[in-house]
Amino acid sequence: MDIAITEVFHNAEKNFRDRADADWLARAEKLDDISNERYFEVLMRKTALEDPVLQRQPIRSPLGSRWRWRLHDERMEELLPALSNPLEVARYTRADIRSLRQACGIPARFQGSLVRAVEHAAVFAEIVRTSPGGLFHSLVAPTISIDGGEEQPVLAEQLRRAFKGLSDGGVRGLTREMHLDCSIRPPGVILLQTIGLVDGHNMGQQPPDDAYLQAIQICEAIAAQSGRTYAYVEFILSANFTWSHMDVTRFPLSRHAVCSFDNPQCHACAHSAYCARRGLEKLVSDREHGWLESYAPTWRFDASDIVPLGYLPGLATEAVCQSIDDDNLSWSRTDTLHIPASDAPNIRAVLTEMPLSEVRSRVGESQYGSEYANIVAGAPGDAERNVPLLAGQFGEEFHGFRGHALLDAYEAQGRETVSLLAIDWGQVGNLLVRKS
């Protein structure tokens, strides 16, 4: 089906506005703001109160130091009204800076950051004066490229030359906080895969690099046609979809999402006319058995074989927990997720033996790159212990990253049959909690 990207974006906006709360609506509008005021506010936030002490702290603050960050934020909010007009800020003298510090209770160690902020304000004002339309955005927009991804090296170098004294981290911070990068989060890619604009489909794992590139190109094209910013387009698409409640902690907007495996809303979704998962709402209405249909057409399981995971050999539970740990690792989550030991035995599952040749004929051949080398290295050992293969949903071959490597290991050992495990991942998503 040939789907116009403008139609997809229009429907994505409708879904978003029908479901998002006031905070998320405000965030979306902010992402579409290219005013000088917003850009200058970001510049001041990243330079005026750059605390030399806090900058040396690790990413996660040591125990007992969060009050420093809270105090830092309070000082910034108090100071920002005095740093709102670049022409005025550019005229500040050192005496003015000392007066501001004293009025806002800012320590002397911030003097250098504030002096640099005044210098940057003068640069910003000059850029605005000489740019087409008097917009700072006119300077940065031509240097943003799809190939630049999150780093945007050409833009970063331009910012570094314009605002002298910025550290590499400060430049990256400006690019990110000004929303000038070209990246897309996995839910946006999954949405575009689901409705057929991006090749492939992924359940519960990160899309491959080529899918990201296609999705980024589509976002760029939508932005050009709609007059919206790239950041706004990406946000709207990513907010539309999440593939299971396993992602609630990664994507807070998923509670507002139009489509999730546990709570599809096909009857209300504006994408339903062209979505490949049309009918999912009926599929999961029978929570006890309907989930098993999500494994077709690649796999066929018998609903009469559904049993609690606790009834199966311990390696079945290990395979599920191993996949969740892989997901934690691949997402580099600080607060990792797990299933409480008391809940794991109740997960709905089917375990079946299948001829290895039949499994191979259904999944074909697949090559894994170095990206997953550390995850699949243990496949031969897992095959020795007879760890089951995790079947994939919605046209996927296997769930997670280990499937093909484990199948290769079974073939190398000359196995004739292998164990294939199907899990109600929607139920798993509801049971996941943060590790304490």
> Does residue 412 sit in helix, strand or coil?
helix
Total residues found in the chain within this entry: 436
- The whole-number pLDDT of residue 241 equals 82
363 within 8 A of 418, measured Cβ to Cβ:
no
Q: How far is CA 303 from CA 306, 349, 353, 390, in A?
A: 6, 10, 15, 17
- What does the DSSP assignment read for 110-123? GHHHHHHHHHHHHH
239 within 8 A of 24, measured Cβ to Cβ:
yes
- The whole-number pLDDT of residue 51 equals 61
For each of the chain's 436 residues, which pLDDT tens digit applies?
467 899 999 999 999 998 888 888 999 999 999 999 999 999 998 888 776 655 554 444 555 556 666 777 787 888 889 889 999 999 999 999 999 888 888 888 888 888 999 999 999 999 999 998 899 999 888 888 887 777 888 888 898 898 988 777 778 888 888 888 888 888 898 889 888 888 876 555 567 788 889 999 999 999 999 999 999 999 999 988 876 655 555 555 566 678 876 667 888 899 988 887 777 676 666 677 778 888 888 898 998 999 999 999 999 999 999 888 887 776 555 557 788 889 999 999 999 999 999 999 998 876 554 456 666 778 899 999 999 999 988 777 888 878 888 999 999 999 999 999 999 887 887 788 877 6
- Say how far apart CA 240 and CA 179 lie, in whole Å: 19
Interior angle at CA 136, CA 156 and CA 110, nearest 5: 65
Q: Does a cis peptide bond (omega within 30 degrees of 0) precede residue 340?
A: no
- The whole-number pLDDT of residue 205 equals 59
- Say how far apart CA 65 and CA 72 lie, in whole Å: 11
- The whole-number pLDDT of residue 370 equals 46
What letter would DSSP give residue 259? B
Closest to 197 in 3D by CA, of 182, 181, 219, 229: 219
**Angular region, 241: left φ>0, alpha ψ -120 to 50, beta rest:** beta
Token reading at 263: 């709570």
Closest to 198 in 3D by CA, of 180, 206, 210, 187: 210
> Does residue 84 sit in helix, strand or coil?
coil
Task: Give the dihedral of Cα atoms 79, 85, 87, 90; nearest 10 deg.
Answer: 20
Q: Does a cis peptide bond (omega within 30 degrees of 0) precede residue 81?
A: no
- The whole-number pLDDT of residue 165 equals 81
- Say how far apart CA 40 and CA 47 lie, in whole Å: 11
- The whole-number pLDDT of residue 49 equals 73
Say which residues have a Cβ less than 8 Å from residue 379's Cβ, sequence separation at least 6: 402, 405, 406, 408, 409
- Say how far apart CA 54 and CA 170 lie, in whole Å: 13
Closest to 15 in 3D by CA, of 208, 257, 368, 181: 257
* Assessment of whether the complete model's pTM goes beyond 0.75: no
82 within 8 A of 113, measured Cβ to Cβ:
no
Largest Cα–Cα distance of the chain, in whole Å? 82
- The whole-number pLDDT of residue 247 equals 57
Token reading at 389: 């293969």
- The whole-number pLDDT of residue 89 equals 93
